Amino acid sequence: MSTTIQKSKQRIPSDTANGFKSILQEDVPKGREGKHKAIITRLLADIDELAAGTALKVPLSDLPDSKENIRSALNRATRQKGIEVATSSDNDHLYIWKTEQNG
C-alpha cells in the first residue's frame, strides 16, 4: 500500500510500509527496450528486404547473445509485427527467412 502526502494539491510519493519507494504513475516508464533491441531491429530491417526464396546468413559471432535467446527475441518481435519467419542454424551461422503466411 503506497502512502502519499498531500501538498499544494499535488500528491507526492513517499516510502511504503515495507520500505519500497513509490513514484507517481505518470513517471513509470512505458514500453520496453530489451537488451536485444538493436540486433532485432537490424534483423527485422534485413528480413523486410529479403527477396522470395532467400535467407539471411548471420554469423553467430555477430550476435550479442546466444542464438537461442536471439531466436526467442526475434520470435516475439515477428509475432508482434505479424511476420512469419523460420530459422535454422549450424555451428557458425543463424539462417532466417520469411515463410508464406497462412490464410
> Phi, psi (5° rounding) for residue 48?
-60, -30
CB 90 within 8 A of CB 76: no
In a domain, 47, yes or no: yes
pLDDT digits (tens, 9 = 90+) for 13-59: 667 777 788 888 888 877 767 789 999 999 999 999 999 999 999 99
In a domain, 60, yes or no: yes
> What is the reported pTM?
0.67
Q: What is the extent of the structural domain holding 57?
A: 37-98
In a domain, 6, yes or no: no
CB 58 within 8 A of CB 67: no
Spatial strand order in the sheet of 56-59: 56-59, 93-98, 85-89
In a domain, 32, yes or no: no
